[in-house]
Structure 1
Amino acid sequence: MHELTREQARRIAVRAQLLDAERPGDVVEVAEQLGAIKIDPTATIAPSELTIPFSRIGWGYEPGQLTKAAETDRTLFEFDGQFHPVSLLPMMWTRMKGRPLRPATIEYLDANARFRQDILAKLRADGPLLAADFEDTSVLQRGNESGWYGNSEVPRMLELLMRIGEIAIAGRAGRTRRWDLAERVYPKGLPAFGYDDAGLALEQRRLQALGIARQKSSWSGVGEAGEPARVEGSSWTWRVDPEALAGLDDDPGGRAAILNPYDRMLFDRPRLKELFEFEFVLEQFKPKAQRRYGYFVHPILVGDRFVALLDAELDKKKENLVVTAVHELTELDPDEREMIDAEISDLAEWLGVPVVYVGER
């Protein structure tokens, strides 16, 4: 059982997420360590798949790297709303193909067997294709109760066939996905894994990305990967990545980082509160009158502390990064303010626009 101070635990978490002073060199290195880069169209500043790499690499990050890695080099692949490194594909594809299906899903696939084969045959003949290129020949419809689908069953069937490993996303036309047979998108000769072994390997990679996580937490999905640890002041039993422990004394120092609300660092809210004493509430889905900080504020990390929230928006018409507020969660000293201002300036330089402050600062 490893005994860690809270500061050591935070340092492990920050470093695992590539948010310390030692920046990675490119987007593939970011994806290899994080395991996933979230894709989301909300772009008050820029979409998450762009700001997440920027938070690690800095102003030198070129967004075209992501498209090249996913569509040309095939070092990344898109699955279920995230970009993943291809090193995870053998385990993930094993889990896709062996995924236990709910009775309702089995019923849907059985009833729509012809529809399923129509999609696969069209891809085989003409792929890659957009969802709009397919005819809806479904027999059983599920409707649009969730609000995510239109009247056509095509998007639902495409998503389902992706999740069971039969088709894959070959690229994008703008923000619209292109679909093809998985065997034509994914590399050939992938290492073989058993279903359970693949699950254990994925748990280890999730722990690598987090550094430290609560044992058997549904938020983290690390299971019993790594080694057990206790953290000063916490009653939880933790799992810690042995490699993160080995590098604990080799500390490159901290820096300021502006995080997209969908950043992996923020996903595990209970861990965020327990280790960082930070309660993050995304106000995107709250009525305007109930918002305290703003529609889509970006948390600001300085060193191993969340110290502020950035309320800012890219004004594409005026070509400015408009900063409405930097909400301080704790009193900032002059050095912290300077680091935050510098990171905001770097963000604006990366966007190719000047910074305009219009509110509290």
Structure 2
Amino acid sequence: MTHVLTREDARRIAVRAQLLDANRPSDVVGVAEQLGAIKIDPTATIAPAELTILWSRIGSSFESLQLTKAVEMDHQLFEFDGAFRPLSLLPLMRPAMRRWPTRESSRRWLKANAVFRGEVLARLRAEGPLTASEIPDTAEVSIPPDGWYGSNQVVHMLDFLQRQGEVAVVGREGRTRRWDLAERVYPTDLPEYSDEEAEHLLNERRLHAAGIAKQKSPWTPVGEAGEPAVVEGLKQKYRVDPEAVAALDHDDGGRVALLNPYDGMLFDRPRLKELFEFDYVLEQFKPKPQRRFGYFAHPILMGDRFVGMLDAKVDRTAERLVINAVHEFLSFDEEETEMLRAEVDDLAAWLGVDLGEW
């Protein structure tokens, strides 16, 4: 069956799948189960990504300790490749871990550093959990610093070993990761899947989190998951979660949401442009004269449309949320202004700071 959707229907499906509709969730683990990944990033003009992503869904009742508890105490979430993920995804990811690395340069680096690899694992086995700085760098071959990574090869080795399922992040000391052997962090009774089974189930999970995605999207690969869909006015072939289509008749409506620039809702840029007519560009790495909206401006979602950008920053010295600018794509009416103000008020309350002048 091929579903024929209006662009508005497609947007509503995407918004609801990302838990940005009027029906707010209340549970950190439940949010992670639905989204599949909660990006970790330290840029904190307002708050780090992993916290604002959860606040955008749950609201001011969310506390950062809830995330810490889910990861480090209850072990319902785990950190992998720069994101917190639900434990239910780990069995589906393990076949790809066993195949990694697929890039020849990574294989050569691991082969050249076989002794170093063994020493890192031995140190963790004897003394873990450890931070990267507590493990000697004895690499025979180095990867040069690239702006993201420094010269410490232990960081590279730990990341490589994580991708192979050999080590895992057990927790954090501030922004610093603590590592241990994966066998001491992950459960030992996880189900096993073949490569084909795991890929099929991962595609279904990705589509469930997206609601609707292009069939051949490198941004949101969903393969043959779900059912085919046509969006009126668009030529692209989509796949849609049939449960999301059925839920359109029970839509609770929209709300205002302020999205961290690393929010998963913004990840698939082509889909944003096609469905939402929102050509989003992160200006964090642009020279200041080339920025239109601000260094780390947060997109404003109102219902199923992106209507503007919020350029704001927390002044911790003054304990105040400073609103530098609200960029309106189209002028807000009085009701829309009040809806936005209420969400910004909630943001300030969650941050525990006063709200500065608009």
TM superposition score normalised by structure 2: 0.98
CA deviation map 1:232-277 (0-9, x unaligned): 1111100001111121110111110000000010111110010011
* Other-structure match for 2:162: 162
Do the aligned residues in 2 keep the contact of 1:216 with 1:224 (CA within 8 Å)?
no
* Other-structure match for 2:259: 259
Cα shift at 1:60: 0.7
Amino acid corresponding to residue 279 of structure 1 in structure 2? D
* Other-structure match for 2:147: 147
**d(CA) in 2 for partners of 1:294, 1:158:** 35
Cα shift at 1:319: 0.3
* Other-structure match for 2:343: 343
Residue 236, structure 1, aligned to residue 267, structure 2? no
SS in 1 for 2:307: strand
**d(CA) in 2 for partners of 1:14, 1:150:** 38
SS in 2 for 1:117: helix
CA deviation map 1:103-138 (0-9, x unaligned): 222221122111101011111111110001111111
Amino acid corresponding to residue 70 of structure 2 in structure 1? A
TM superposition score normalised by structure 1: 0.97
* Other-structure match for 1:41: 42
Residue 66, structure 1, aligned to residue 54, structure 2? no
**d(CA) in 2 for partners of 1:219, 1:139:** 36
**d(CA) in 2 for partners of 1:193, 1:27:** 27
RMSD: 1.0
Cα shift at 1:27: 1.1
**d(CA) in 2 for partners of 1:132, 1:2:** 53
**d(CA) in 2 for partners of 1:109, 1:265:** 35
CA deviation map 1:13-63 (0-9, x unaligned): 000000000001121111000000000010000000000000000011111
Cα shift at 1:222: 1.2
* Other-structure match for 1:245: 245
Matches within 5 A, 1:77-96: 77-96=78-97
SS in 2 for 1:206: helix
**d(CA) in 1 for partners of 2:206, 2:58:** 21
Residue 272, structure 1, aligned to residue 272, structure 2? yes
Do the aligned residues in 2 keep the contact of 1:324 with 1:357 (CA within 8 Å)?
no
**d(CA) in 2 for partners of 1:168, 1:40:** 18
Among all aligned residue pairs of Structure 1 and Structure 2, give the percentage whose two residues are the same amino acid.
Answer: 63
Amino acid corresponding to residue 329 of structure 2 in structure 1? L
CA deviation map 1:294-326 (0-9, x unaligned): 111000111101111100000000000000111
* Other-structure match for 2:219: 219
**d(CA) in 2 for partners of 1:331, 1:138:** 57
SS in 2 for 1:9: helix
Do the aligned residues in 2 keep the contact of 1:314 with 1:321 (CA within 8 Å)?
yes
Of residues 172-181 and 282-291 in structure 1, the stretch that sits farther from structure 2 once superposed is 282-291
Cα shift at 1:100: 4.5
Do the aligned residues in 1 keep the contact of 2:315 with 2:322 (CA within 8 Å)?
yes
Amino acid corresponding to residue 104 of structure 1 in structure 2? S
Do the aligned residues in 1 keep the contact of 2:311 with 2:324 (CA within 8 Å)?
yes
* Other-structure match for 2:100: 99
Do the aligned residues in 1 keep the contact of 2:143 with 2:151 (CA within 8 Å)?
no
* 5+ residue gaps, structure 1: none
**d(CA) in 2 for partners of 1:101, 1:119:** 22
Cα shift at 1:150: 2.1
Amino acid corresponding to residue 289 of structure 1 in structure 2? P
SS in 2 for 1:343: helix
CA deviation map 1:48-87 (0-9, x unaligned): 0000000000011111111110011000000010000001
SS in 1 for 2:66: helix
Number of corresponding residues: 357
* Other-structure match for 1:289: 289
Amino acid corresponding to residue 119 of structure 2 in structure 1? D
Amino acid corresponding to residue 298 of structure 1 in structure 2? H
SS in 1 for 2:33: helix
**d(CA) in 1 for partners of 2:187, 2:245:** 34
**d(CA) in 2 for partners of 1:200, 1:208:** 12
